[in-house]
Amino acid sequence: NAGVTQTPKFRILKIGQSMTLQCTQDMNHNYMYWYRQDPGMGLKLIYYSVGAGITDKGEVPNGYNVSRSTTEDFPLRLELAAPSQTSVYFCASSYPEQSSEQYFGPGTRLTVT
């Protein structure tokens, strides 16, 4: 199993550009999540999905969009990138049981200048 994979690993965007961060998992997990990591702030949930076709906002959804057309994929779209979106983005997945740990991808480091 590859687990949770994310592409790209690094990206530099200009202000106002758009991009999609890709996330794929091969563990047949129902639940998938997008987090951003800001220094000294831990992880903040952007969006999550409990299954194909179902998504919901997390703590910091503004400026982002998601879709979940398959169980495996959960792309995160940034529209009109802003410097405040400079961060490291982690995708994660889990089984639906409340005691299930989350499995994290390797992260995407995004800089908006």
Partner 1 sequence: ILNVEQSPQSLHVQEGDSTNFTCSFPSSNFYALHWYRWETAKSPEALFVMTLNGDEKKKGRISATLNTKEGYSYLYIKGSQPEDSATYLCASHYNQGGKLIFGQGTELSVKP
Which of the ranges 9-17, 19-27, 54-62, 67-75 carries the binding residues for partner 1, by CB under 8 A? 54-62
Tokens of 61: 């959804």
Asked whether the beta carbons of 67 and 53 are under 8 A apart, the reply is no
**CB nearer to partner 1: pick between 24 and 94:** 94
Tokens of 70: 């398959």
Cα 56 to Cα 67: distance, rounded to the nearest angstrom: 10
Binding residues for partner 1 restricted to 72-111, rule: CB under 8 A: 90, 94, 96, 98-107
**Site for partner 1 (CB under 8 A): which residue of 18, 56, 70, 83?**
56
Cα 18 to Cα 13: distance, rounded to the nearest angstrom: 8
Give contact residues for partner 1 (rule: CB under 8 A).
31, 33, 35, 40-45, 48, 50, 56, 58-59, 90, 94, 96, 98-107
